[in-house]
Amino acid sequence: MKLTITNLRQEAIAFSKQESKITHNNLIGITDGKAIGTYIERKFEEHLKSKYEITTGSIAKGIDLPDPHINTDIKVTSVKKPQSSSPFKNIEQKIYGLGHNLLIFVYEKTDIDNNCYLDFKHCIFLEANRTGDYNLTKILRKMIELDAKKEDIIEILDDRNVPGDEHILKTLAEKILKNPPKQGYLTISNAFQWRLKYNNVINLKNKINGVYDYEEFSGKELGDYQTPLYFTDIICNYLKNELNISPDIIIEPTCGTGNFLKSASDKFPNKQLYGIDIDNEKLEKVDKTIPNLKLINEDIFTFRFGNTNKNNSFLIIGNPPWITNAELSKINSKNVPLKSNFRNEMAIDARMGNSNFDISEYIILKMIDEFKDTISTIAFLCKTTVSRNIFIELNRNNINYSFIKQLNFDSYKIFNIDADACLFVIQFGGKTLTNKICEVADISKPSEVLYKFGFKNDKFYSNIKDIPPIDGNCQMEWRQGVKHDCAKIMELTRKNNRFLNKNNEKVEIENTYIYPLLKSSQLKKPIVNNTSKHIIITQKKIKQDTSHIKTDAPETWKYLNNNKEYFDRRKSSIYNNAPDFSIFGIGDYAFKKYKVAISGFYKKPVFTLVYSDKTMMLDDTCYFLSFDKYDDAYITMLILNTPLVKKFLKNIAFLDSKRPYSKKVLKRIDLEKCLNILTFDDLKQTEDELGLENYITDEKFREYKSTEF
């Protein structure tokens, strides 16, 4: 019989179980990992040969099972001392993987009396496209999710010291954007040494009798991640032992395979349990031996609980989908709530994306609405951005609660996803809390408060401790950069005195509508006054007619029309009924010579003074103030980079947000209040810390303070 990948994986699991049960006395006293590895590899190969036709490898062939349909190398390592090796041949393998699969046996060796035992902790089959570098692929995938451009990818590669000249990095960046890498699970230095991140891979697995076999999550459409049983046990232990709850009825919406139900049944015996899920296949996998359990195959978005008995106490627990309504729509999922601007955002904000929300947020708010008038505990796993939104909604709608807490946990360890996550717990029916504050702790140490977020004097803070007294309204208006959604045509790079668009096409048009451009990734220094990037600006104000370009700059008009299909493909509704080639984030403010800008993306706030001979434009991931005078812009940049303002931003910004520094956050910096606290010496010290030449003077500072903005 010919060996297949399916057979290989099955046999590896069977081999691991078998070898864990017997002694290996010829290994007594041996501590050399390579010797033990060779022993296990040979024994496994003999195991395969007894059942299948196989071709084994050699040093020349490089991998142990080289047949093209198997293409797998065997690795054996101690769980205590993971080994490293050098299998990489070129830099692309750091991103796209080795080009072959890995079968990894992870053992723990124990010598007891005259017997040697090999306890196989994990048996991992890692597909070829998962053998890239963990950290690099994680960063690249995140940036692609945030609509990164080629220049952003090149900068990441350069920052990570990926070897290669400008041409190599450019070519690699183009390939990455066209063919994003899978998440890798090795740790690879630029010397091409690798070390498998065992925890990263293990967290992807489904446990099979103590041994792990590779299996990707298949819950993308429903946006769900099934919670492992050990973690649902931890959560239910917390609810029972720390909160001392004793519910009469336990409900798990979107229950999946029912691990929360199983743990809840164990921790709260003899209670009535209900599991609700739209996916009947998952309900079939729920443990049917759980007592007092009723399963309901319904859509939670339309399910009605009916009148709840006020004499009963409830526990509503679970892990609703972490996907957004927009993401579900993109994959044409039917598992979505009715579309609505459910947080009552202003119309323009909703159209610009603020009405996008996590499905979990919708479900949790629905549970709150159903059970807020009962004696109940609501405990859900969710992103920390979701818990914060729910907290705000509770207080905005004056819903009383008796307990609220956010317990953070490592979502990568539990679900293999890169998101700030928590167990969010709310209780109703007890004495109403009068303060609008939520404590944050780690789930491993629930009694140790890390920080608190909430409302103080009707203003919302990410951390309510030691707030600098500069909260208010900025005297100048923060603006967002240019939005065009047509980077391939609108954004140009100047090389050798000629312009190229993002299709790498030569662009020969008039300079009339071409402006220098800065992007988020370029706002890392206190002053920036040059760039190789440019942008075509078709309007000076929103909805302005663009037909005059035909007369003013005929080659530009021709270029835009030759590429009109790109503009017609723009999906945002803001372009509906707008003139051809319209852009947004444009007005008189955009054409002022001096700006102080910040990237909305990065966690560390850096305010940058930007200018050039022709007005410097910023993309829509940036926010800025605009000025006519250099001195005004320079001093404002210093003020915003002072420790006073940086500390205040830590009190009001949430670093787990997609854009920590939004217009809503920035406009709370009251510059007049800053000037009442900051001295000339403070600004001089900031100037020195930023590495700038001495420019500010006491006279310039006094003049600035007397200026009305």
pLDDT at 683 over 50: yes
Residue 565 shares a structural domain with residue 684: yes
Tell me the per-residue pLDDT of 236-276, one tens digit each, with 9 for 90 and over: 999 999 999 999 999 999 998 899 999 999 999 999 999 99
Regarding whether 400 and 261 lie in a shared domain, the answer is: yes
The pLDDT score that the predictor gives to residue 139 is 85
> Over the chain, what is the mean pLDDT?
86
Domain containing 533 equals 479-705
Residue 63 predicted with pLDDT over 80 = yes
User: Do 341 and 438 fall within a single domain?
Assistant: yes
Sequence-ordered list of residues with C-beta below 8 angstroms from that of 344, at least 6 positions apart, any chain: none
By percentage, how much of the chain surpasses pLDDT 70?
87
Q: Are 322 and 208 in the same domain?
A: no
- Whether 26 is in a domain gets the answer yes
Structure tokens belonging to residue 531: 């760039």
Q: Cα separation of 93 and 578, whole Å?
A: 46
Label residue 466 left, alpha or beta by phi (over 0 means left) and psi (-120 to 50 means alpha). left
Report yes or no on 469 lying in a domain. Answer: no
Q: What pLDDT digit, counting tens, does each position of 316-351 carry? A: 999 998 866 454 444 344 444 544 444 554 333 433
- Would you say residue 587 has pLDDT above 90? yes
> Among residues 429, 461, 493, which one ends one of the domains?
461
In the listed set 405, 431, 461, which residue is the last one of a domain according to the structure?
461
**CATH label of the domain that carries residue 20:** 3.40.600
> What pLDDT score does 644 carry?
97
Alpha-helical runs (H) found in 221-374? 229-241, 259-267, 280-284, 325-330, 347-349, 359-371
Largest CA distance in the chain: 94
**Cα dihedral 177→181→186→190 (10° resolution):** -30
Could you tell me if 343 and 444 lie in one domain? Answer: yes
Q: Decide if pLDDT at 172 tops 60.
A: yes
**Three-state secondary structure call for residue 386:** helix
Shared domain check, 348 and 199: no
With a cut of 50, say whether residue 138 has pLDDT above it.
Answer: yes
Q: Confirm whether 63 is domain-assigned.
A: yes
Q: What band does 307 get if pLDDT is binned at 50, 70 and 90?
A: low
User: Tens digits of per-residue pLDDT, 399-418?
Assistant: 999 999 999 998 877 876 77
Q: Is there a contact between 194 and 408 (Cβ–Cβ < 8 Å)?
A: no
Start-end of H helices in 31-183: 33-49, 92-96, 134-145, 150-159, 166-178
Residue 467 domain-assigned (yes or no): no
Q: How far apart are CA 543 and CA 552, in angstroms?
A: 18
Please name which of 500, 498, 501 lies closest in space to residue 487, comparing C-alpha atoms: 501
Reported as a single tens digit per residue, the pLDDT across 512-561 is 999 999 998 899 999 999 999 999 999 999 999 999 999 999 999 999 99
For residues 380 and 494, membership in a common domain is answered with: no
- Given the DSSP bridges, would you call strands 533-536 and 527-528 parallel, antiparallel or unpaired? unpaired
8 A C-beta contact, residue 268 and residue 250 = yes
Q: Is there a single domain that holds both residue 192 and residue 332? A: no
Query: Residue 582: what pLDDT?
Result: 95
Residues 503 and 424 in one domain: no
> Are 263 and 286 a contacting pair, CB within 8 Å?
no
Q: Quick check: 368 pLDDT over 80?
A: yes
Q: Who wins on pLDDT, 110 or 426?
A: 426
Q: Give me the phi and psi of 214, to 5 degrees please.
A: -65, 130
- Give how many domains the chain has, as a whole number: 3
- The reply to whether 567 falls in a domain is yes
pLDDT tens digits, one per residue of 435-469: 999 999 999 999 999 999 999 999 999 999 999 99
User: Quick one: average pLDDT of 354-382?
Assistant: 87
Residue bearing tokens 């409302």: 455
Task: Kindly state whether residues 56 and 28 are assigned to the same domain.
Answer: yes
Which range is most confident: 110-114, 133-137, 185-189, 305-309?
A: 133-137
What tens digit of pLDDT does each residue of 599-639 get? 998 888 999 999 999 999 999 999 999 999 999 999 999 99
Query: Residue 188 corresponds to which tokens in the numbers above?
Result: 């690879």
- Establish if 484 belongs to a structural domain: yes
Is the pLDDT higher at 300 or at 87? 300
Nearest residue to 633 via CA among 605, 678, 595, 667: 595
- Of 426, 461, 496, the last residue of a domain is 461
**Mean of the pLDDT values across residues 682-688?**
97
**Residue 108, in any domain of the structure:** yes
Dihedral in degrees, nearest 10, Cα atoms 636, 642, 647, 650: 50
148 assigned to some structural domain: no
Q: Which long-range contacts (CB under 8 A, 24 or more apart) does 613-617 make?
A: 614/515, 614/516, 615/515, 615/516, 615/590, 615/591, 616/515, 616/516, 616/517, 616/518, 616/529, 616/531, 617/481, 617/482, 617/515, 617/516, 617/517, 617/518, 617/535, 617/537, 617/590
Instruction: Identify the band that residue 55 occupies on the pLDDT scale cut at 50, 70 and 90.
Output: confident
Terminal-residue alpha carbon distance, the chain: 82
Same domain, 592 and 618: yes
Between the CA of residue 347 and those of 84, 397, 685, what are the distances in Å?
56, 20, 44
CATH number assigned to the domain comprising residue 388: 3.40.50.150
pLDDT higher than threshold 80 for residue 33: yes
Segment 672-679 long-range contacts (CB within 8 Å, at least 24 positions apart)? 672/472, 672/475, 673/469, 673/470, 673/471, 673/472, 674/470, 674/639, 674/642, 674/644, 674/645, 675/639, 675/705, 677/468, 677/469, 677/470, 677/644, 678/639, 678/642, 678/644
What is the pTM (predicted TM-score) of this model? 0.67
517 lies in the same domain as 413: no
Give the pLDDT score at 34: 84
